[in-house]
């Protein structure tokens, strides 16, 4: 019996509310009242705002490349755990997912005119044969683009000829590359100047990000396509 009192109060409140709504409809004021309710619930204080996502372009670049340019991103391996990646024009040329990367140097050769992949291989620079690498980079045609990403150890097996060829492709750091350094580089056969697309971090116990390895490197940009001649 104690509940009867509160129930009556609830019924009276509901009845009063319904009566007000019906009266508003009959008097033609329901629309404006409903609009006020909508404004209340849709006010900026109650609205959920989300920041617009930054648009990404080919290979995840923050802005598009100019016409007649190739968009790229090269990421070195992280320690000996996470493999490198080489992306060109939104196509992944080399990655762990594609199962075509390995310890040492990961190299993709690309036609500088049309951006088509010519060949992609990895070379073990710790226990492999450096002659395999030399056979791969000696006979390059004029204008061939060379994308390089290190993984674990890029330099133990390097000899003077290897370093000389990479230097001729535009590298500044190939001559000093050492055990477990991180290195990313984009060069080309026949370049006259040093490439602007290169990063290098020395393996140093004082600055290494990982135990025994420096930080991974990421390089991105736009490469002008060759418009004269073919490879």
Stated pTM of the model: 0.75
Considering just the CA atoms, what is the radius of gyration of the chain in Å? 32
| Beta carbons within 10 angstroms of residue 87's beta carbon | 22
pLDDT digits (tens, 9 = 90+) for 38-86: 443 444 444 455 565 666 899 999 999 999 999 999 999 998 899 999 9
For residue 105, which phi and psi values (nearest 5 degrees)? -110, 130
What is the distance between the alpha carbons of residues 210 and 201, in angstroms, rounded to a whole number?
13
pLDDT digits (tens, 9 = 90+) for 144-180: 999 999 999 999 999 999 999 999 999 999 999 999 9
Q: Which two tokens stand for residue 24?
A: 């508003």
Which whole number is the average pLDDT over 136-140? 97
Of 65, 73, 79, which Cα lies nearest the Cα of 153? 79
Query: According to the model, what pLDDT value does residue 210 have?
Result: 87
Sheet with 85-88, strands from edge to edge, namely: 91-94, 85-88, 69-75, 218-224
Distance (Å) of CA 74 to CA 27, 39, 68, 93, 199: 70, 50, 20, 10, 10
Query: According to the model, what pLDDT value does residue 15 have?
Result: 67
Which whole number is the average pLDDT over 5-13? 61
What is the distance between the alpha carbons of residues 22 and 38, in angstroms, rounded to a whole number?
18
For residue 193, which phi and psi values (nearest 5 degrees)? -120, 175
CB 86 within 8 A of CB 92: yes
Query: According to the model, what pLDDT value does residue 40 have?
Result: 37
């Amino acid at each position: 019996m104690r509940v009867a009192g509160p129930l009556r109060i609830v019924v009276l409140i509901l009845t009063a509310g319904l009566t007000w709504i019906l009266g508003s409809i009959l008097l033609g004021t329901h629309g404006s009242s409903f609009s006020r309710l909508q404004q209340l619930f849709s006010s900026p204080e109650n609205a959920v705002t989300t920041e617009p996502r930054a648009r990404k372009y080919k290979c995840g670049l923050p802005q598009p490349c100019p016409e007649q340019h190739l968009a790229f991103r090269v990421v070195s391996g992280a320690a000996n755990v996470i493999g490198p990646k080489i992306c060109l024009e939104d196509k992944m040329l080399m990655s762990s997912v594609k199962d075509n990367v390995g310890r040492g140097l990961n190299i993709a050769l690309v036609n500088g005119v049309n951006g088509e992949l010519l060949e992609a291989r990895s070379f073990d620079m710790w226990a492999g044969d450096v002659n395999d690498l030399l056979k791969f980079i000696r006979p390059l045609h004029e204008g061939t683009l060379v994308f390089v990403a290190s993984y674990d150890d890029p330099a133990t097996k390097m000899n003077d000829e290897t370093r000389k060829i990479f230097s001729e492709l535009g590298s500044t750091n190939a001559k000093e590359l050492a055990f477990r350094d991180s290195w990313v580089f984009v060069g080309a056969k026949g370049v006259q100047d040093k490439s602007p697309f290169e990063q290098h971090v020395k393996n140093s116990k004082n600055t290494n990000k990982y135990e025994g390895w420096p930080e991974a490197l990421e390089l991105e940009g736009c490469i002008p396509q060759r418009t004269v001649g073919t490879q």
